[in-house]
Structure 1
Amino acid sequence: MAALTKGRKTPRFAGGGLRNLPVAASAVCFTGGLAIAAAGQARAGREGQGADNTAKAADAATYRAVGVFLKDVTGGSADGDVRVDVQEGVFAFKNSAAADEITQVDIGKPCFVVDDQTVAKTSPNSTRAAAGIVQEVGPEGVWVDVSLTNSALLAA
């Protein structure tokens, strides 16, 4: 699976609030991409960053999935120079493959951020943040309830 290279229309199932968040410096965010807050700054969903799994896990532990981006934006030269609207709700994302593929038996369970359009069943070495709760699996992908509340509860 590859991260987005341009904006896309992400199918939305229902509900959710609207947030306006500061964007991390130089972060590239695409419409419909899964948004995370990292140290309070919005950026595209991703796995934890670092030199090894310990560093990646520590980084991922600071991420909170907050919804999807409502427009394409690129962060300015400093954190918060640009702001973006993010919609909470139930959205369809691409499914991982093989052992990380989400199936019907995973409905009601947490799933994890791979990138800004892909979710997975697991978080190997705790290097992925919780994306939200699986609501459905269908031809559109994995329907996930993404909100700051769910993300915070799953991280606790």
Structure 2
Amino acid sequence: MALTQGRKVQERGGKQHGHPVAANAVIHAGALVVLAAGWAAPGRTGAGADNAAKAADAATLQVVGVAEEAATGGPANGDVRVRTRAGCFLFDNLSTDAVTRADIGKACFLVDDETVAKTSPNNTRARAGIVDDLEDTGVWVRVGAGR
């Protein structure tokens, strides 16, 4: 129902969130973090036996931000949590599929937990975020909520 008067707004604190880690996943501090079936894992391309399987897997990956700390998942999903932060971060640019200045404002795609690329061949790479800027050392990418 629409408001008829002011209300107290509840806000989830900033751009920092905690996510349960996938079993045995190793997430390094500063890594791009994805949710895979709801569990935090290091960023990666789609997995599977062929491009169709890789594309289907990549479509399920959701980038949630960058790990603020290292975390190693326990024997079961959710035994450990990792803090992530959404925002604009500098990542490596894949030299064989490089993001360029013409891509500023466009999506870029995950290669691994520290590298992004311009395209997603056969849709096997998940969307990393929006290209914000480029430097000689890498690509500034807006990742996480609100990207």
In the alignment, which of 65, 70, 76 is matched to residue 67 of structure 1?
Answer: 65
Long gaps (5+) in structure 2: 1-13
Q: What residue in structure 2 maps to residue 104 of structure 1?
A: 101
Identity of aligned residues (%): 56
Q: What residue in structure 2 maps to residue 132 of structure 1?
A: 129
Q: What residue in structure 2 maps to residue 115 of structure 1?
A: 112
Q: What residue in structure 2 maps to residue 81 of structure 1?
A: 79
Q: How many residues align?
A: 134
Q: What residue in structure 1 maps to residue 143 of structure 2?
A: 146
Long gaps (5+) in structure 1: 1-15, 151-156
TM-score under structure 1 normalisation?
Answer: 0.83
CA RMSD of aligned residues (A): 1.0
- 2 CA distance for matches of 1:90 and 1:50? 30
CA contact (8 A) 2:66 2:84 kept: yes
In the alignment, which of 36, 39, 42 is matched to residue 40 of structure 2?
Answer: 42
- 2 CA distance for matches of 1:66 and 1:140? 23
Q: What residue in structure 1 maps to residue 93 of structure 2?
A: 95
- 2 CA distance for matches of 1:130 and 1:148? 13
Structure 1 ranges of 4+ moved more than 3 A:
none
- Secondary structure, in 3 states, of the residue corresponding to 1:58? helix
Q: Which residue identity is paired with 2:131?
A: V
TM-score under structure 2 normalisation?
Answer: 0.88
- Secondary structure, in 3 states, of the residue corresponding to 2:112? coil
The offset of 1:21, in angstroms, is 0.2
Q: Which residue identity is paired with 2:103?
A: D
The offset of 1:148, in angstroms, is 3.5
Q: Which has the higher helix share?
A: 1
- Secondary structure, in 3 states, of the residue corresponding to 2:54? helix
- Secondary structure, in 3 states, of the residue corresponding to 1:26? coil
- 1 CA distance for matches of 2:27 and 2:66? 10
In the alignment, which of 2, 14, 20 is matched to residue 22 of structure 1?
Answer: 20
- 2 CA distance for matches of 1:66 and 1:53? 24
The offset of 1:147, in angstroms, is 1.1
- 1 CA distance for matches of 2:141 and 2:79? 30
Quick check: which has more Rg, 1 or 2? 2
